[in-house]
Structure 1
Amino acid sequence: MKQSVYDLTQQHRSIRQFKDEPLSKETVQKLVEAGQMASTSSYVQAYSIIGITDPEIKKALKEISGQQHVVDNGYLFVYVIDYYRHSLINKETNGNMETSFESAEGLLVGTIDVALAAQNVALTAEDMGLGIVFLGSLRNDVGRVSEILDLPEHVFPLFGMAVGVPSDDEQGSPKQRLPFEHVFHENQYNSDKEQQLEQIKQYDNDIKDYYEQRSNGKRSESWSEQIRKMMSQKTRPDILEKLNIKGFMKK
């Protein structure tokens, strides 16, 4: 019996090792069409999906990402906020649309549109028996990504996605998420400090156990320790500047 969408979501894990089996054009089209059917704010459709098949472009993007699965995969997608088409309509109609797509709200709308489309692609790929991994590492140098992909003004790269048939050596497993009670708030946000800290403490123990079991004791790290190290670093400080260059966050 075919599994439910809920069951599929519970099995998700990032795949970083793929078999050398390129996706067919038909599969790629189905994945993109699934992404296109995601909800989009006010029918704006402020995104595009760029498929990368050129080995040299993959290699260049890998230099930015630093991750081998940018090159070794069944297919590589890059997701971009795209208001270029809207800017063309704006010029053709002598409109005043830039007050929308150059604003902070416009940035949020585009980002949400991209994320919704990408998640549709991810779920569809996993339903096909494929694996995926998101590649936020492409934002290590968004200016260079824009050059490589020849992105015009009002188009901004958010992340990539490697897709393919999981390698037989892939040993990943789903990571436990924060407790339901910690992320679900009914009617009002529960900011009870002691309750929040206790839930985080319990979760830290679970994640520490997960890493110890997965690494045979070679890694012992809680969720709090992991995110403290990551979020204490000043990462990608040029993002706002690059957004401005591309015509975003001007209003």
Structure 2
Amino acid sequence: MEAKVLEVLKHRSSVRSFTDEPIPEAVFHDILDCGVHAASAGNLQPFSIIRLSTPADKKFLTETCHMQGFVKKAAENLLFCIDFHRLKQWAMVNKAPFAANHSYNHFWVIFQDVVICAQTIETAANAYGIGSCYIGTTMESNDEIIDYCQLPEGVFPVVLLTMGYPLQERTINDKLQVEDVLHSSHYHTYSDEEIKTMYQKKYGEIQMPLNDRTKNKVYQTAKKVNGDAYAEECLKEMEDNGYVNYAQYRFGLHYVADEMLEGRETFIQALHRQGIDWIQ
């Protein structure tokens, strides 16, 4: 049994292509049952899961929330939410004081509980041979999701997990090694060479084409977030290499650094709308 669990954990991968086969309800329930047995601070279980798997749900996710098309093909889509609402109602019914939704500490502990539940379900699904993929772009559609799912005050979306039987054989991505992430007693500050070596082992020599568009995009992004001098260094690196390296692609073209700074105020407003107001 132990070997099987370890194999599931070591050989998981994100799946974005699914068959039309539905997940049997008994299997689906068993997977969710693993989630509700996940670790939870104080055993409070301050999370709720919204099942978004009808054709209308999938249309909403892909069209209104602009999620990727494979979400529509997935057998199940599960939205994991922070749930202060149920916790507060339990307190109020029993005439207990409650202020968790105003607390920084409670928010972060509850956020952890939600993610632990989601990951336990992801692992259980993998044990059944069911593929899955996390969709983090829920944060870009908080208001739309709150309205569509009729989330009451105190309930806030965190992440979507899309699941289904894989259409093709999974590809296992290379990862950083244990020695790359494990520190003993104190943090080991890596040398530049150590950083280059560990990420080269993980990604290999991935190179993106260098053209006017990619060069200008990386340059302008670096200029906005790191200043003129650093942008010039980025430009020289690209021109000397003759390509966009993978780190430049990830943070200059894919997870665009300056765009990551946008939306903060909208996110805070969405939290406040749901009565979660520790952050100003």
TM-score past 0.5 threshold: yes
Q: Please name the residue that 2:197 is paired with.
A: 202
Normalising by structure 2, we get a TM-score of 0.78
Tell me the distance in 2 between the aligned counterparts of 1:107 and 1:2.
34
Q: Please name the residue that 2:33 is paired with.
A: 33
Tell me the distance in 2 between the aligned counterparts of 1:223 and 1:207.
12
Q: Please name the residue that 1:79 is paired with.
A: 80
Tell me the distance in 1 between the aligned counterparts of 2:31 and 2:206.
32
Deviation of the 1:66 alpha carbon: 2.6
- Native 8 Å contact 2:91 2:98 kept in 1: yes
Aligned-partner SS, 1:4: helix
Deviation of the 1:131 alpha carbon: 0.5
Q: Please name the residue that 1:232 is paired with.
A: 257
Tell me the distance in 1 between the aligned counterparts of 2:177 and 2:71.
32
Q: Quote the RMSD (CA, aligned, Å).
A: 2.3
Paired residues in the alignment total 239
Matching of residue 108 in structure 1 with residue 103 in structure 2: no
Q: 1:44 to 1:231 in 2, by over 3 A?
A: farther
Aligned-partner SS, 2:204: helix
Aligned AA (2:194)? Q
Give aligned-pair identity as a percent: 22
In our comparison, the structure showing a higher alpha carbon Rg is 2
Deviation of the 1:245 alpha carbon: 1.4
Report 1 or 2 for greater relative contact order, CA contacts < 8 Å, sequence distance ≥ 6.
1
**84-93 vs 38-47, greater mean Cα deviation:** 84-93
Aligned-partner SS, 1:185: coil
- What does 1:1-251 correspond to in 2, within 5 Å? 3-63=3-63, 64-98=65-99, 100-168=100-168, 172-190=170-188, 192-194=189-191, 197-209=192-204, 221-223=245-247, 225-227=249-251, 229=253, 230=255, 232-235=257-260, 236-237=263-264, 238-250=266-278
Aligned-partner SS, 1:29: helix
Give a deviation string over 1:88-127, Cα, whole Å, max 9, x none. Answer: 12332343211x2321112112211111111111111111
Unaligned runs of 5+ in 1: 213-218
Normalising by structure 1, we get a TM-score of 0.86
Deviation of the 1:53 alpha carbon: 2.6
Unaligned runs of 5+ in 2: 208-242
Aligned-partner SS, 1:13: coil
